Structure 1
Amino acid sequence: MGIVIMHSVVSVDGFIADENDDVGPLHEWYFNGDTPITEGSDQPYDHSGVGSRFKVSRASAGYVRRMWNGIGTIVMGRHLFDLVNGWEGHPPAGDHVVVVSHRPKPEGWHPEASYHFLDDVTTAIDKAKELAGGRDVAVDAGNVGGQIFGAGLVDEVAMDVVPVVFGSGKRYFGSIDGQHLLEDPHVVIQGDRVLHLRFKVRR
């Protein structure tokens, strides 16, 4: 049975982008290594505007491959969807995407893509689990991710921590209130210019 994983690349001080949605050096490790994440794949990825191919360190490649291969559905907010134009209908992992939004899918936008627009986080997670078919659901961090986490719908938190301090910007957990305990990290992997961490959410 799959789990719900909240995930993003994040600065040491907890930001996933600056106030203008610029990720700065946060995604550089995705492109500066010598090992492709998906062997034999030439699919471009343009999340950070680099327009390059994923090549990471060997340690990161093993970790990211395992995570991405386990994902059936990605859940994202409308803001990120608009920023990346939904990855043009080709998510970096999984076969389905659920977008949390009060606005419907843009008319005529990639009708062949399995993208579903729902306006409630609980309904969105239920739909994502259904689509995932027993695989994991990956929730993009940020405001919507924070809402899903705050609603108690996240099983694990995954952070790819990059050694940079932003000072301000878009927070990993959005505007979540209160304290929430996590278990000790059960994954700690040092890559090149990134530290991969995974924590189970304490119930």
Structure 2
Amino acid sequence: MATVMIHATVTLDGYLADPDGGVDWMFDFPSAPEDGDVVARVCERIGAIVGGANRSRTIEEGEIPYGGMLEVPVFLMTHQATDPIERDGVTYTFVVDDIAAAVATAKEAAGDGWVSLLGGSISRQCLRLGLVDEIHLDVVPVLLGDGISLFAGLGIRVDLERLETSAFASETHLRFRVLER
């Protein structure tokens, strides 16, 4: 059975992006080959992705999950029905307003792999619904001071068990199991 996980690169103050949605800070720090190895091991296990659709429900450059390096089914949450889009061998399926159904469908598609949840809103909704098994964070040493938060507004307590921790050039990699409520 698939493992549902939040996988995010965040700043030390917990932001996914700057206030305008920019992630340039993500590429402006030193890293070691070991940092890349940690992320590659995670990516190898991802069998499906759940994220949020953009306003035009299209797949634009810069919006492709994992920069297009994963060829796995992608399920995008939306409020309006849209036909699936195929791009570079990846099928993007739009799911209207039912995140639990999107996660269930992604779990089927992932088989024994991992379902990666992308974005703060998607992650918080799934945590509130008890759909998340693990949280994987790649923390970079920068403080943005403001931006788009991964967990702000969650509104519930979530207890975690640390499974793995590693740190190399400048990233710290954290992996937690979400404990039952």
Q: TM-score, normalised to structure 2's length?
A: 0.85
Q: Give the secondary structure class of the aligned counterpart of 2:24.
A: coil
- Asked if 1:190 corresponds to 2:147, the answer is no
Within the candidate set 151, 154, 158, 1:173 is matched to: 151
* 1:62 equivalent in structure 2: 37
Q: Give the secondary structure class of the aligned counterpart of 1:179.
A: coil
**Quick one: which amino acid aligns to residue 141 of structure 1?**
G
Separation (CA, whole Å) in 2 of partners of 1:25 and 1:141: 17
Within the candidate set 92, 96, 102, 2:73 is matched to: 96
Q: Give the secondary structure class of the aligned counterpart of 1:176.
A: coil
- Asked if 1:113 corresponds to 2:85, the answer is no
Q: TM-score, normalised to structure 1's length?
A: 0.76
> Given the superposition, is the C-alpha separation of residues 92 and 76 from structure 1 closer, same or farther in structure 2, using an over 3 Å criterion?
farther
Q: How many residues align?
A: 177
Structure of higher RCO (CA pairs closer than 8 Å, 6+ residues apart) = 2
Q: What is the alpha-carbon root mean square deviation over aligned residues?
A: 2.7
* 1:141 equivalent in structure 2: 119
Within the candidate set 132, 156, 168, 1:154 is matched to: 132
Percent identical among aligned pairs is 28
Structure 1 residue 107 displacement after superposition: 8.1
- Asked if 1:2 corresponds to 2:2, the answer is yes
Q: Could you list the runs of 5+ residues in structure 1 that have no partner in the other structure? A: 34-56
> Given the superposition, is the C-alpha separation of residues 108 and 4 from structure 1 closer, same or farther in structure 2, using an over 3 Å criterion?
closer
**Quick one: which amino acid aligns to residue 189 of structure 1?**
S
Q: Give the secondary structure class of the aligned counterpart of 1:64.
A: helix
Structure 1 residue 78 displacement after superposition: 1.5
> Given the superposition, is the C-alpha separation of residues 86 and 116 from structure 1 closer, same or farther in structure 2, using an over 3 Å criterion?
farther
Q: Could you list the runs of 5+ residues in structure 2 that have no partner in the other structure? A: none
* 1:163 equivalent in structure 2: 141
Give a deviation string over 1:21-56, Cα, whole Å, max 9, x none.
Answer: 012322345xx55xxxxxxxxxxxxxxxxxxxxxxx
Separation (CA, whole Å) in 2 of partners of 1:68 and 1:96: 13
Which one has the bigger strand percentage? Answer: 2
Separation (CA, whole Å) in 1 of partners of 2:11 and 2:120: 13
